[in-house]
Amino acid sequence: YADLCKKCQQEPNQNHVLFIDEITNVKPNEQSLVYHIVLNRAIGPNVGQLPDNVVVAAAGNSIDESEAAYNMPEPLFRRFDGHIELKPDIQQWLEWGSKNSLKHQGQLRVHPLVASFVGTYGDSVFYSPYDAENPPKYAIDPRGWEKVSDLIYANHGVLRKELLENKVGKSIATSLMEYAKILPITVEDVVTENYHYNEIPTKFDAKYALALSLRFAKIDEIKLVRNFIREHLGAEILKMFDVAWVGNDDEKALHLKAIQIAEDNQILRGNSNDNDKAKA
């Protein structure tokens, strides 16, 4: 509380978030301990008033997702300004996983093999809802796939079936091992046209995973990569790819803009030539 007040005083023009995590994992009568914080913006009746530039937020599992969760007491539930229900989303997870890892130097948050596998098989492997009456032996979820990635990185890219089975079960581990035998299309493959059409994914999430894996193309490779994505993965994927490739790099943004202007001019010239032919 002292640290929070100090930070709020040092930065009076910014809002600061007091985040209460796993609020539903304690019993309802114990959840009442945060009543004062949420309702009266204070730790207790006569102590711990929150600064004006503090925003209170909380998170927790619903009883449908966790056997350890309790319903939030109605008075507390109604006093929050709003409730947001988050559901696992493969595309958002793939985008998150394509960013640089803080744990593994020079690697991505999610190993490319895992991202491609999940993108290909989709919801059937991405997330398994919790069933309290028949609890699954292996809980498949985004955090679990991150742990699988960590295992692969820790073993320097070598897949250990027994370790994978402990995380995702025998069936999915076997499928992942088989999938690993298929070499993914790389930037070099695209530039040299060293790929077969049957290697190009057909599902949207798998296409997106492939596009994200190509985002590390160099500036002198980007035209060929974009043409490949436009032709084989589609215009919608290309728009997503462009955003991912540019990131916060001004040089890439200017280079991409020049390419897009040239493409637009080429389309205009093509349309003009078609009109001239029609008139003739």
How far apart (Å, rounded) are the C-alpha atoms in residues 245 and 234? Answer: 16
- Reported as a pLDDT band with limits 50, 70 and 90, residue 92 is very high
- b/e for 85-107, b at 16 or more Cβ within 10 A? eeeeebeebbbebbeebeeeeee
Task: Among 18-32, 80-94, 138-152, 228-242, name the most confident range.
Answer: 228-242
Between 254 and 279, the more confident residue is 254
pLDDT tens, position by position, 197-219: 888 998 899 999 999 989 889 99
Q: Which of 92-101, 121-130, 244-253 has the lowest mean pLDDT?
A: 121-130
pLDDT at 186: 92
How far apart (Å, rounded) are the C-alpha atoms in residues 259 and 242? Answer: 11
Q: Is the pLDDT of residue 103 over 90?
A: no
Q: Is the pLDDT of residue 11 over 60?
A: yes
pLDDT tens, position by position, 48-64: 899 999 999 999 888 77
- H/E element, 226: helix 222-232
How far apart (Å, rounded) are the C-alpha atoms in residues 51 and 98? Answer: 38
- Reported as a pLDDT band with limits 50, 70 and 90, residue 276 is low
